[in-house]
Amino acid sequence: MASFRLSIEDGQFRDAHGRQVVLRGINVAGDAKLPSEPDQPSHIATDFFDGDNVTFHERPFGKGEAATHFARIKRYGFNTIRYLFTWEAIEAAGPGIYDEQFIQHTIEVLRIAKSYGFYVFMDPHQDVWSRFTGGSGAPMWTLYACGLNPQSFAATEAAIVQNTYPDPDNFPKMIWSTNYHRLAAGTMFTLFFAGKDFAPNCIINGVNIQEYLQDHFVNACAHLAKRIHEAGDLENDAVIGWESMNEPNRGMTGYVDLTVIPKDNPLKKGTCPTMWQTLLTGMGRACEIDTWDMGGLGPYKTGTTLVDPHGEVAWLPEGYDDSKYGWKRHPGWKLGECLWAQHGVWDIATDTMLKKDYFAKNPRTGKTIDYPEFTNTYFMDFWRKYSKACRARHKDCIMLMQYPTLELPPQIKGTEDDDPLMAFTPHFYDGITLMTKHWNSTWNVDVVGVLRGKYLHPAFAIKIGETAIRNCLRDQLATLRQEGLERTGNHPCLLTEFGIPYDMDDKKAYKTGDYSSQSAALDANYFGVEGSQIEGHCLWVYTATNDHERGDQWNGEDLSIHSVDDKVPLLSPLPKSAVANQSTTSLFKPPTTKNRDVGNDESITPENLQRTLTTPSISSSRSAKDPELTNAPGYRAAEAFIRPTPTVVAGNVLATGFDLRKCAFNLKVSAPKPASDEAPTVVFLPEYHFPRDQSQITVSAGKWELSSDDSEGPVLQRLKWWHPEGEQTLGIQGLMLCQVWHHPSFLCRSKIRWRPRPAVVVPRWCNAEYGRESASEKSRTGHSNSAAARPSMQERTGTKRHSQSSHELAMSMCQTRSSLAAGVTQVPQPPFARITACEQPVKPP
């Protein structure tokens, strides 16, 4: 029987020892949405409609680059990969024609991911159906199968696509998401999930279009699963499970009135047609359509505009040759005219709406189709088919159920669908920040609360102040988790997407190097994730080709934590850490410090400080699986996403959190039995925040040890904790900080300007309890912390009180992290507590 690295027990992810596994992941990679040959980012129109002749052979990145990317991701502390692939990548050339070269490339990249110890979930990714409807996912031939002509989408506004936009360089931010409510994507999702009920005349090759589309999607994913199974070394050891279609949408199914915009549609940007207007423009009719924009207080109407296709229609011409793809349509399905008119929704001859509530009720049951009804019927029919196909190839894999975004999960608790090896995977974004590309720490909105009818008026959902905003993000995520438990059963919640835009405020950070807004926004999101008790999460996104000009190369999005243009992280550098000591018994060895660029007598200037801050990696230690990253592209706002994490817990996590401002980590666990020698609780403890000799660790009971190893590639610092049964607590205080008045020869970047600061450096010991110690502390460490035993200021710093050599200041500044308070730069003070192996209970003072 296969040895499973991960299973599900009692609603938690568990390892072979029964420990809870906390999945801290990231989506890899944004590049997977786009072809590699030709390289076709969303702003390029050349050969765009040659959709049958594209390949994804180098996606998400080339095999030769994979080790560098995975080493970097591992070094950041992630243990899970949500691996993106698209239906188009597998089956672009035509129905049933699979790209075996892409599949083989995927297998080889997954093997490299395995060597770094990642848990991998496969994600069949899509956004608004397809690249040709403004997103990503499905092959172009699926549109032809449904009678649509993507080359006419621009004129009819059946879809807003950057590749065909008149001015792709000024493509409106986030407008791509409005395509869910336009003709092309609305039609495709309706046919995919509910074609049998609402388009019974759409028969192709003897089956309804719903069955045709679903079968091809499911079979393509199942073929990839089959090939991964045949590889023989990936199932369960690397590939743990399969997620269902990313962000499924109901299309028009459930629309009560096609002549109005649904009240639950928050996506208002640019032209905002009713679905009735999209049907008209799709047949070449001119319509006066409302225009909207997103402001600081949400969407607002800006006026109207005339959309005139000048007779061009969004449907295939009557003489289109179906034989290219081996299709034979039912005689009742006419090409050249709207298929919804053919089903009696409206009259083409008079442009009259006949059945504005055509999609409101299930024709088989008569039930009104609200979103819960859609999810419980149409989505679940698809889920059962997909899950069965995946399990037929990958037996006992974990299935990840992704239902429509921000909607209620299906009501399956206690039914046959209540699968013990299942997790539910909501998505959540701070919509205000995402749509405006600005971090507003003054106010935000409880969107989930509004959607659930929690407030008598939306005004009551407004949260004022950063603390309230952070708590609101946490509470919304906790609500999504609780809804999943109540409706699907006792399953883990894996948040598979959340993130923030890095190109905030018209890319201001790219000019100034100040990522404090991005750091604050991302930290607020992580605060919500950690406080909600969600069992796992995957940040969106890692994009290998991200740059400052085009972001993630897709629709103007720029959410990647990595960018090829962030080689010199001016205000958010990771510190140059010491070579990790492999021995857990030699923890008093002073850290090695080497100045790579600044000599002892060299004055500190912006230029040489910048060189010093250009660190090749988080840890200077390397191994065979830790490729050299000197001068490699880097990270941004790293202080917010490089966080301590309880990776495995001997028991259950009751609470955990990281306070970035205080650099303090806390963990509370419940252990049914003492942690065994071979299976302790393990915490990833990044040296970025917790340098070896500058951290204080306190536990309620048990013993702990701090060590570093490169068993999974990069050298990672981990704390192992052998605690007794019952409720136990762990607290870690990281790099202690002090305020600095800079050396006169140093110009610090403050409030986006270079300016001199006063000339005195005042280090201080921040621990008020420094002079107090117990006999056990002295005997345990072999060192005294009494005032008499403390080194003098000169001994501690190697300087007199009011002077500091340029070399020492440079080394301190190597560990500088951007302050969230404007104009304040912080550097580490000397250590006040040494880290050691601890075998006695140590309680906080």
Q: Pseudo-torsion of CA 650, 114, 501, 736, nearest 10°?
A: 50
For the stretch 362-391, pLDDT in tens is: 999 999 999 999 999 999 999 999 999 999
* Mean pLDDT along residues 737-750: 29
Mean pLDDT, the chain, rounded, equals 83
Closest CA to 118 of 189, 161, 70: 70
Is 284 a residue whose pLDDT tops 80? yes
The stretch 459-476 carries a mean pLDDT of 97
Tokens coding 134: 């403004």
Q: What is the 3-state secondary structure (H, E, C) of 326-347?
A: CCCECCCCCCCCCHHHHCCCEE
pLDDT digits (tens, 9 = 90+) for 389-446: 999 999 999 999 999 999 999 999 999 999 999 999 999 999 999 999 999 999 999 9
**Which token pair is 555?**
């629709």
- CA atoms of 754 and 302, how far apart (whole Å): 40
> Shortest CA distance to 818 belongs to which of 741, 750, 761?
750
Q: Please tell me what DSSP assigns to residue 567.
A: S
**549 noted as active-site residue:** no
Looking at residue 542, its amino acid is Y
Report whether pLDDT(180) > 80: yes
Catalytic residue among 91, 497, 535, 712: 497
Alpha-carbon dihedral angle through residues 430, 434, 439, 445, given to the nearest 10 degrees: -40
What average pLDDT score do residues 688-699 get? 92
Q: What is the pLDDT of residue 625?
A: 57
Gyration radius (Cα) of the chain, Å = 28
Q: Which two tokens mark 15?
A: 């390892």
Q: The whole model's pTM is what?
A: 0.83
Mean pLDDT over 232-256 rounds to: 97
For 443, phi and psi rounded to 5 degrees? Answer: -150, 160
452-475 as b/e: b if 16+ CB within 10 A? eeeeeeeeebebeebeebbbbbbb
Q: How far is CA 373 from the centre of its chain?
A: 28
Give me the pLDDT at residue 193, please.
99
Task: State yes or no: pLDDT of 743 exceeds 50.
Answer: no
| Residue where the block lists tokens 């109005």 | 260
Tell me the β-bridge partners of 720: 682, 705
Cα 33 to Cα 553: distance, rounded to the nearest angstrom: 10
pLDDT at 713: 85
- What was the pLDDT predicted at 4? 62
Answer whether residue 589 shows pLDDT above 60.
no
Query: Which amino acid, 612?
Result: T
- By CB atoms closer than 10 A (0-12, 13-18, 19+), residue 215 is middle
* Residue 471 phi, psi (nearest 5): -65, -35
Closest CA to 655 of 199, 19, 22, 17: 22
pLDDT tens sequence across 117-156: 999 999 999 999 999 999 999 999 999 999 999 999 999 9
Instruction: Tell which residue, 345, 325, 95, has the closest CA to residue 201.
Output: 345
- Does the pLDDT at position 178 exceed 60? yes
Q: What integer is the mean pLDDT of 752-774? A: 28
DSSP-assigned states of every residue in 440-460: -SSEEE-HHHHHTT--SSGGG
Residue 35 has what DSSP assignment?
A: -
**Identity at 555, one-letter amino acid code:** N
Is a pLDDT exceeding 80 seen at residue 75?
yes
User: What is the tens place of the pLDDT at every residue in 78-125?
Assistant: 999 999 999 999 999 999 999 999 999 999 999 999 999 999 999 999
Residue 728 sits at φ, ψ, to 5 deg, of -130, 150
Residue 359 amino acid letter:
F
Question: How distant, in Å, are the alpha carbons of 78, 162, 225, 227, 588 from that of 389?
Answer: 29, 35, 9, 13, 55
The 3-state DSSP class for residue 679 equals strand
User: Residue 735 and residue 685: Cα distance in Å, rounded?
Assistant: 12
Averaged over 740-763, what is the pLDDT?
A: 28
Higher pLDDT, 602 or 130: 130
CB contact at 8 A, 552 and 511: no
pLDDT at 621 exceeding the cut of 80: no
DSSP 578: P
Residue 227, pLDDT above cutoff 90? yes
Is 100 considered catalytic here? no
CA distance 317 to 335: 6
Least confident of 294-308, 396-410, 471-485: 294-308
The catalytic position among 58, 157, 243, 247 is 247
Confidence of residue 619 (pLDDT cuts 50, 70, 90): very low
Q: What is the pLDDT of residue 735?
A: 81
Give the tens place of pLDDT for each residue, 540-580.
999 999 999 999 999 999 999 999 998 643 333 333 333 33
The proportion of the chain whose per-residue pLDDT surpasses 70, expressed as a percent, equals 78
Q: What is the rounded distance in angstroms from the CA atom of residue 684 to the CA atom of residue 678?
A: 17
Please choose, from the candidates 269, 268, 272, the residue with its C-alpha nearest in 3D space to the C-alpha of residue 287: 272
pLDDT in the model for residue 266: 72
Binned at pLDDT 50, 70 and 90, residue 485 comes out as: very high
Q: pLDDT digit string (tens) for 8-63?
A: 999 999 999 999 999 999 999 999 999 999 999 999 999 999 999 999 999 999 99
**Which of the pair, 629 or 641, is modelled with greater confidence?**
641
pLDDT for the residue numbered 712: 86
CA distance 653 to 645: 11
**Peptide bond just before 524 cis, omega within 30 deg:** no
Angle value at C-alpha 273, between 435 and 497, nearest 5 degrees: 30
DSSP state of 693: T
Q: Is residue 35 reached through a cis peptide bond, with omega within 30 degrees of 0 on the bond before it?
A: no
CA-to-CA dists, residue 653 to 411, 527, 533, 535, 667, angstroms:
27, 16, 8, 9, 8
Could you tell me the maximum CA-CA distance found in the chain, to the nearest angstrom? 97
Q: Give 526's strand partners.
A: none
Number of residues in the chain:
845
Three-state SS at 637: coil
Distance spanning both ends of the chain, measured CA to CA: 50
Contacts (Cβ under 8 Å, ≥6 apart) of 67: 112, 625, 627
- What is the per-residue pLDDT for 744? 29
The confidence score (pLDDT) of residue 614 equals 31
**Crossing angle (nearest 10°) for helices 466-488 and 516-531:** 40
